[in-house]
A and B are shown apart, each in its own frame.
Chain A
């Protein structure tokens, strides 16, 4: 019965059905299934599946985004329950995310945020055109593990370097890892400015973030 429930949960994510995912999350609570198990043995398997398909080129952005939305809907219900029970989902780590100042491109950054959040990270998405100091300050106050910064223009990309320098200035460079992304961003660029991580796409960003946590010894 519980196994069937888990596989229905995964399937609701694969199908991108937020309402179905939400319904299953509520049912699992009624059935007394541990919310953490519902997430880790049910819904997450669906996210992983869609992520793998996407990486292979067999799934497309609308499927990826809808899977993310469905996952959020389910997790929302389950986290509320966990709060009631006085438990908490242990997040992998926390990430401050934003598109760099002067740049208003939203789509890729938001997608990365969705993927990181369904991938088990606590994500503070500060939106677009975010001043460097705002990014750094938020990371400091939230004791974030990672700052992930996006740029869609070659003219704004150069400011990704400033994020790293700003962290240096306040002595937090070793404590906070920096991930960079966006259309003009390359691995070479990431290396040149001394960023810790770079990914070509949103699914890859989750893996990179996980590696960075390992590198931090978390």
Chain B
């Protein structure tokens, strides 16, 4: 039995959904794209064209929601299903769109460059705890116009894992789908076996911008999975109450899914988000706050009530270095997300309110994720009786190590952490240099990068990808793509 956290009572869930449907009518949803307003109006919504406000009656939204797939898979570049969006399956991927990295040599936060992103991709590729890649960093030396697709380009070259990504412009959404299609064997094949999910963000409170609406429509039509990242900011851009923010999240997701399904019924879409409370002293948005994780767990439960695939932003910290706060916030929220049964949990590796990625932290977070995944396996019944038979021949001695069963089952029962986690004696620890977690992570990261094997990609397709991206890079003013 998979242990579960269900943070909302069975009375609260219908109340949240009911209030969200009421929000869709009053005050309504601001939809800033004409095409989306028109399609909502055609479906029976009332549109105040001048204010760009749409009132979506419950029956209109419910009808659209009926066609949302309750599960789908993401495939790796070998065509194998490796991520299951649906049910209570839990996956993790690194945080995305960081602009800085924590440089482990200088311990400074500095703008990310190509080399840093490649390191992150290789690390996530090598660790089994990460089921998917993200387009983790915005490379500062790359022109903004191609910043989004350039990230995907690097992921495709260095990993076969599926990818959680997103575009910065409507034009680039299409280019990025083409890039994925090169390896999938065309756009149709990509729709059959999608290798990526695209994040799409509403703007709190209750706004679908032109770009957001357009992305929903384009992704639906293309048949490529979309992932709504609704970000109620409790107390500033959303009600201060956690439940109030969950209601807003529900309304933003339902309205987004309605726009999406009206464009093409049956296209895959995920009930996701990156909400946060507002720190009322500093005006910041703590991702490591327990209340942030509570909103996540609650909205996931609401999404599950509808039967939708879910996503959230957890396993991140607001600390600036990889210290106790970083560990506490990342592992606590990772565990809450896992127990909430969230299908894709993004955020590992991140510090400083998602602005900064630390590859060393990504490696340490993998241990927190390993433990969370162990937790999800729950208390397993391996033997019947549970214990009695194992006392045969024991004769009051601590000799269970000699039992065949012990040898058979210890790997099933225990998550075996990497050397990043110190479980040695004090003597061993001293002999090994009396290191802390971060220092051990630095060493292990070096080993990992040294043994990393690049994926065996078909050269023809790599050449096609490089041609496409270098052409766009030239248009953006880059003579040539960085060498690596």
Which of A's residues lie within 8 Å of B, judged by CB? 57, 60-62, 104, 107-108, 111, 153-155, 183-184, 201
Contacts and interface: CB of A to CB of B under 8 A. Distances in A.
Nearest to B237: A107
Given A107-B236, A155-B144, 15 more contacts: A60-B280, A60-B281, A61-B235, A61-B278, A61-B280, A61-B281, A61-B283, A62-B240, A62-B280, A104-B203, A154-B100, A154-B111, A154-B140, A184-B355, A201-B282
Nearest to A59: B281
A167 to B, nearest CB: 25
Nearest to B235: A62
A155 B97 CA distance: 12
Interface in B253-297: 278, 280-284
A54 B280 CA distance: 10
Nearest to A60: B280
A183 B352 CA distance: 11
Nearest to B284: A183
What are the 6 A-B residue pairs with the smallest beta carbon separation, nearest first?
Answer: A60-B280, A61-B280, A154-B99, A107-B236, A60-B281, A61-B283
Nearest to B138: A155
A111 B236 CA distance: 11
A67 to B, nearest CB: 14
A190 B252 CA distance: 38
Question: Size band of the B side of the interface?
Answer: 10 to 19
Nearest to A54: B281
Tell me what chain B mostly uses at the interface: helix, strand, loop, or mixed.
loop
A108 B285 CA distance: 12
A169 to B, nearest CB: 24
A150 to B, nearest CB: 12
B172 to A, nearest CB: 15
A111 B184 CA distance: 49
Contact of A111 (B99, B283, B284): B283
Nearest to A111: B283
Nearest to A61: B280
B280 to A, nearest CB: 4
25 contacts: A57-B281, A60-B280, A60-B281, A61-B235, A61-B278, A61-B280, A61-B283, A62-B235, A62-B280, A107-B236, A107-B283, A108-B283, A111-B283, A153-B99, A154-B99, A154-B100, A154-B111, A154-B140, A155-B99, A155-B138, A155-B144, A183-B284, A184-B355, A201-B282, A201-B283
A104 B236 CA distance: 15
B348 to A, nearest CB: 22
Contacts of B240: 62
A107 B355 CA distance: 18
A77 B430 CA distance: 71
Contacts of A111: 283
Interface in B236-260: 236-237, 240
Nearest to B280: A60
A128 to B, nearest CB: 12
Nearest to A64: B280
Contacts of A184: 355
Nearest to B233: A107
B142 to A, nearest CB: 12
Contacts of B283: 61, 107-108, 111, 201
A62 B284 CA distance: 13
A198 to B, nearest CB: 16
Contacts of B281: 57, 60-61
Contacts of A201: 282-283
Interface string B213-242: 000000000000000000000011100100
A60 B280 CA distance: 5
Contacts of B284: 183
A183 B284 CA distance: 9
B208 to A, nearest CB: 14
A107 to B, nearest CB: 6
